């Protein structure tokens, strides 16, 4: 079987795990009482929350971008309002189902791939964006050698961008991406397989078939 590489914060026993990012957390002052719900688009946002007094935020239901981010919030005792399909546009659709008077707190990274919050604010919805962490390419992804015939799994736009800083895709490699937002960062001349489910497990199952 050809080697399978997983470029993700999450690991998997059937893949070679390479964490693409180094994370720095911030703790800006937040009055959680001002908001009705949280918007969570990554596990890192949940980790950032844990730098605050748990009693101040744990009563807020969260709109989560994926099953993984929802599971992370539930793991710390939070309640999930709804789960998107792994990319920002699905959160846009979810929020428009609520009254414009609903106050949302979007706990986000310094750099983001989707402008759903900006578009919603322009349409009169109340989304407060607060930067609680930043991501930088890890030395591991920048320096790691990858087999020319490997199957590569990417789980975020940043994982693709960081990989391509020091690497190039080869004709004998197969690419698996977790969602449509990540797929947009793959060069146009490179073929890839889009996972039907926005989960690492789904990506690995596809990769295992490609690796045979």
Residues 63 and 35 sit within 8 Å (Cβ to Cβ): no
Query: Which structure tokens are listed for 143?
Result: 């320096």
Does residue 131 have a pLDDT over 80? yes
User: Which parts of the chain are beta strand (E)?
Assistant: 4-7, 16-18, 21-25, 37-40, 61-64, 80-83, 103-109, 126-137, 151-154, 174-177, 193-194
CATH ID of 23-136, from 3.40.50.2300, 3.40.50.300, 3.40.1080.10, 3.40.50.10090: 3.40.50.10090
Does residue 87 have a pLDDT over 80? no
CATH ID of 4-20+138-211, from 3.40.50.10090, 1.10.3720.10, 3.30.70.980, 3.20.10.10: 3.40.50.10090
Residues in the chain: 212
Q: In angstroms, rounded to a whole number, what is the distance separating the alpha carbons of residues 139 and 156?
A: 17
Q: pTM above the 0.85 mark?
A: no
- Residue 181: pLDDT band by 50, 70, 90 thresholds? confident
Does residue 19 have a pLDDT over 80? yes
Q: What is the pLDDT of residues 107-118, one digit of tens each?
A: 999 988 789 999
Please provide the average confidence, as pLDDT, over all residues in the chain.
95
Can you tell me the mean pLDDT for 163-190? 95
């Amino acid at each position: 079987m050809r080697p399978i590489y997983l470029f993700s914060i999450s690991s998997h026993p059937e893949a070679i795990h390479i964490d693409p990012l180094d994370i720095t957390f911030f703790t800006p002052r937040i009055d959680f009482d001002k908001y009705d719900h949280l918007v969570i688009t990554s596990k890192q946002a949940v980790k950032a929350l844990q730098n605050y007094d748990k009693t101040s935020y744990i009563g807020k239901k969260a709109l989560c971008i994926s099953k993984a981010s929802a599971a992370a919030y539930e793991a710390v005792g939070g309640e999930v309002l709804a789960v998107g399909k792994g990319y920002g546009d699905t959160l846009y659709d979810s929020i428009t189902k609520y009254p414009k008077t609903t106050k949302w707190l979007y706990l986000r990274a310094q750099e983001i791939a989707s402008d759903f919050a900006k578009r919603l604010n322009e349409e009169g919805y109340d989304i407060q964006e607060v930067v609680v962490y930043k991501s930088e390419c890890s030395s591991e992804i920048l320096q790691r050698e990858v087999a020319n015939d490997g199957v590569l799994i990417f789980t975020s736009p940043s994982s693709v961008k960081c990989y391509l800083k020091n690497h190039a895709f080869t004709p004998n490699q197969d690419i698996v991406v977790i969602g449509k937002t990540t797929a947009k960062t793959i060069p146009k001349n490179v073929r890839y397989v889009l996972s039907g489910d926005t989960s690492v497990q789904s990506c690995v199952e596809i990769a295992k078939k490609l690796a045979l």
